[in-house]
Copies of this chain bind each other. A is one copy, B any other.
């Protein structure tokens, strides 16, 4: 971890550049996979699953019995944790439901904003050694709260029973396909997998590239993904043991993770670095964490204000404010995915169970993207109703603008109505 003493001329965008993998040929490979799935449907899915996952699939969809039986294969304590997390996520997202809006902009002119759930959404759950149960909950629970009709989960074989149990709680149809081929299948549909309205979920570089490619074809996605990160702002009141544990919880994600500590106290920085060393030795994933600490930095600043200035420029996915009276600084945070206030709010509570969504903008995208919220599963429709009085008051405005834009049929649609009103008056 590099140690930096803040100065006004430091180019933090350069110093805190996110590590990024260059994968030559990825674009072409993914594009070829998408084309093949579009052309050959299920047949292509089976071929890719055989090639990449070394599994021969008979049927692509997981049968209902396996979903219903899944609870039996999940340890009681884990089952309970899944239920508590679900409940919290449900509560926070249910509170995000908003009233429809209705405004009279002029006499006789009423405008409304309505919300509709997306009909069918696609949720990607990555495979790998550990089952990402929390991803299923973070995407599936809000989709259910929003009122989506159908949830389609794609996840590569072998599927862990805990994933199946989470999928049974969100009442999803589960398909045993992973990678770019799963994204293509959900975007365009195959014989087994229905086409979805929007695609959510994290994944490796193939999945991410596939999401960006289908997005460029008009299929909405949650957010672009990149390496994930944590920035901790700490004052002299912070606890170095806690900070070190938080930094490591981000660093263990992958070698391309990045963590940043900004503190007004050199003592806190020094003690945190010592704590990092000692906690690191005990971690099962210490090689990964060690590697990502190399991309990381500790910055000594003069004020919390300056710390937040640097943080806003960096736009962290996760921002811990381990400072006195942390909540009074929130107004100054302009760019961040999620904020964790005070010493007893580790990032991991948000990753799993506080109720906020853990699907957040990484890689600086917090500058201009939002994390997943209830809104991500809905769309809006506007409505307007103009009565005779209304058309009389708004008519000339529409005619003047339409004629200036040389769209005379637009003006005419108003004129035929104003003419009718004149006739009625006679």
The answer to whether A383 touches B338 (Cβ under 8 A) is: yes
Residues in B whose Cβ lies below 8 Å from that of A334: 116, 119
Question: Contact check: which of B92, B345, B398 meets A348 at CB < 8 Å?
Answer: B398
The answer to whether A342 touches B398 (Cβ under 8 A) is: no
- B-contacting 9-mer, from A55-63, A172-180, A362-370: A362-370
Q: Encode A74-93 as 1/0 by CB contact (under 8 A) with B.
A: 00011011101101100110
Q: With A379-B370, A413-B245 in contact, do A345 and B220 touch (Cβ < 8 Å)?
A: no
The answer to whether B380 touches A131 (Cβ under 8 A) is: no
Tell me which residues from 59 to 117 in chain A have a Cβ below 8 Å from any Cβ of chain B. Answer: 77-78, 80-82, 84-85, 87-88, 91-92, 95-96, 98, 101, 103, 105-106, 109, 111, 113-114, 116
A298 contacts partner chain B, Cβ-Cβ < 8 Å: no
Q: With A216-B215, A402-B348 in contact, do A407 and B130 touch (Cβ < 8 Å)?
A: yes
Query: In whole angstroms, what is the CA distance A118 to B370 when docked?
Result: 10
Q: Encode A391-407 as 1/0 by CB contact (under 8 A) with B.
A: 10010111011101111
Query: In whole angstroms, what is the CA distance A212 to B105 when docked?
Result: 34
Residues in B whose Cβ lies below 8 Å from that of A347: 410, 413
A interface residues, how many (CB within 8 angstroms):
134
Tell me which residues from 356 to 385 in chain A have a Cβ below 8 Å from any Cβ of chain B. Answer: 356-357, 360, 363, 365-371, 373, 375, 378-385
Q: With A349-B386, A384-B341 in contact, do A133 and B355 touch (Cβ < 8 Å)?
A: no
